[in-house]
Amino acid sequence: MSYINLKYEPSKNDLITEFYVEPSRDIPFKKVAEQIAAESSIGTWTDVATMKYRIKRLGAKVFEIDKNKVKIAYPIELFEEGNISQILSSIAGNIFGMNIIKNLKLQNIIFPEKIVKSFKGPLFGIHGIRKLLKVYDRPLCGTIIKPKLGLNENEHARVAYEAWTGGIDIVKDDENLSSLSFNRFEKRLRKTFNAKEKAEKETGEKKIYMINITAEVKEMLRRARIVREVGNEYVMVDIITLGWSALQTLRNENDELKLVLHAHRAGHAIFTKGKHGISMLVIAKISRLIGVDQIHTGTANIGKMESGEEETKEINSFLKSEFFGLKSVFPVASGGLHPGSIPKLIELLGKDIIIQAGGGVHGHPNGTFSGAKAMRQAIDAVVNGIPIEDYMKNKKELKLAIKKWGLK
């Protein structure tokens, strides 16, 4: 088995993958592991004369097998620097369709320094975002305009204004709001940006509007330039449906545009849920390489979306850790959150998170403004070490929110 060497010790220049593997039928596990390594590096299904002298130098090496876990080391020569599409076509390409495999999941990638430094990474990161908002001691608080579709440009701006003046830091478009017949991109941008500036003057706080620019690449870049011309500092993109190369193009252009890039992970569960696909940790690593500044990572099973506590903690820890000099990425918790979720969420994930609540703001019994106030009150209570039950006694907005949704 030319691609298996359980005595091999990976070098610092190797790219290392970790797979979860389930063979089809009764095929021997080692045979499947070898075929994964072969197909994802230089091999094929049969012997080829021109390969025999190159397997030792360029072939991937299975160096660890532990039950269903397989670790494979790849020589760095197999990859083009700064080309995420080529890298993924190798280690996450044809292997997923091989008939000897029942289930295959790419659980982790360890990138060597040379590959990491061939990518730009985040332009702002956590420190740059906190500096922009001048908020250093608490989680950032955001909302998504609801309903996610159906409001016109004026209605959208009005709801955003109510959220900002109630205490929300960030207003975000939803993943499927682009430029629709009843809500056009440019008009929405200008109306909502004006509402943002008005809210900033009234509150004395910096406010953020994350407008969704997801579109065909040329149109996406055109929209990004319009955002910059208007004076807005942020854009959002749906990174999975957009595609890695398109995201990388946006990041390359962003050296000039200097926009904070928010990554929405809509569609990630196609890959991350279940035993076949790619883990959210891998998606987060690729996103940080390319250069997003913040990304949805889950709520540790507190909200409506599936995201385990340990998995979410591991992803968030990576995004904030040292990574060959690349800036950090702000983890975003979103999906089914409300003021009563805040104590447990901060306990599990810490203060370096962005908390996004849509229905948990707009669904407040007294509307968006009161829902925004309740979210800020909940965050302030936790940051100041005051139990929610005590803090809400003199905070009617928080009290009503807890009465409706309860405490997690």
What does residue 284 show for φ and ψ, rounded to 5 degrees?
Answer: -65, -40
Can you tell me the distance from the alpha carbon of 156 to that of 26, in angstroms, rounded to the nearest whole number? 57
**Residue among 105, 262, 264, 285 flagged as catalytic:** 264
CA 146/CA 164 separation, integer angstroms = 14
Q: How many CB atoms lie within 10 A of CB 158?
A: 17
3-state SS, residue 407: coil
Token pair in block for residue 193: 């940006």
Candidates 61, 146, 196, 262; catalytic one = 146
How long a stretch of residues is the chain? 408
CB count in 10 Å sphere of residue 86: 14
Do the Cβ atoms of 188 and 171 come closer than 8 Å? no
Element (H, E) at 21: strand 15-23
CA dihedral 167, 173, 235, 321 (to 10 degrees): 70
Question: 146 an active-site residue?
Answer: yes
264, 238 contact by CB (below 8 A):
yes
**Contact between 147 and 174 (Cβ < 8 Å):** no
Treating both helix axes as pointing N-terminal to C-terminal, what angle do 280-290 and 84-91 enclose, rounded to 10 degrees? 160
Distance CA 213, CA 237 (A): 6
Neighbour-count burial for 286-323, b at 16+ CB within 10 Å, e otherwise: bbbbbbbbbbbbbbbebbebebeeebbbbbbebbbeeb
Contact 164, 196 (CB under 8 A): yes
Euclidean distance between CA atoms 209 and 387, whole angstroms: 31
Helical spans, DSSP H, in 204-308: 217-230, 239-242, 244-257, 269-272, 280-290
Is the peptide bond preceding residue 331 cis, with omega within 30 degrees of 0? no
Dihedral in degrees, nearest 10, Cα atoms 18, 22, 26, 27:
-30
Known catalytic residues are: 146, 264
